[in-house]
């Protein structure tokens, strides 16, 4: 029996369940990303106050802000993919219709999936090396590095899984 797209993504289906799970995870990490971005903004404001109002030096604020805003970007990427908020050039696909358009979008999605999977794999290796090597940043603040790079691995992994969900979801 031939299964249609509607059967594959029906509410009780395995594929539909996977898509819903990934959509929920992507929304949850979007909230985490928003909190990380807000934390970065608050710390920048604190740094400006400490430096220019109180006249004291700062030691950790710039590094924290870089880590938190970068983590926000990476953790928010699955949500951006899910909502179609990413920048894309769609002139050629928009000119096509039917199966040529579907094939072009599938090839583009598979290329994105391959890149994100490679990034996720390399990111987890990087996190493991930082953990086992007890790497630090080497700055005045000198925190351990693995918590700062962990969002890259988590974000890239969730982005990879969201790409799979988008491929399974198909074209709307």
The number of domains in the chain is: 1
Phi, psi (5° rounding) for residue 48? -60, -45
pLDDT, residue 95, reads 81
What are the pLDDT tens digits along the chain (172 aa)? 444 444 444 556 899 999 999 999 999 999 999 999 999 999 999 999 999 999 999 989 999 999 999 999 999 999 999 998 877 777 777 788 888 888 888 998 999 999 999 999 999 999 999 999 999 999 999 999 999 999 999 999 999 999 999 999 986 5
pLDDT, residue 4, reads 41
pLDDT, residue 10, reads 55
The domain in which residue 125 lies consists of 5-169
Neighbours of 109 (CB within 10 A): 17
């Amino acid at each position: 029996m031939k299964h249609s797209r509607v059967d594959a993504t029906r509410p009780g289906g395995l594929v539909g369940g996977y898509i819903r799970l990934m959509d929920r995870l992507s929304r949850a990490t979007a909230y985490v990303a928003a909190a990380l971005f807000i934390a970065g903004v608050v710390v920048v404001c604190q740094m400006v106050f400490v430096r220019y109002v109180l006249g004291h030096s700062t030691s950790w604020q710039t590094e924290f802000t870089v880590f938190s805003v970068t983590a926000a970007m990476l953790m928010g990427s699955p949500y951006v993919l899910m909502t179609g908020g990413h920048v894309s050039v769609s002139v050629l696909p928009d000119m096509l219709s039917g199966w040529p358009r579907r094939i072009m979008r599938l090839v583009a999605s598979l290329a994105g999936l391959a890149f994100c999977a490679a990034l996720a794999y390399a990111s987890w290796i990087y996190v493991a090396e930082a953990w086992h090597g007890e790497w630090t940043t080497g700055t005045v603040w000198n925190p351990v590095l693995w918590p700062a790079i962990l969002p890259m691995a988590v974000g890239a992994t969730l982005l990879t899984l969201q790409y799979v969900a988008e491929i399974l979801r198909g074209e709307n």
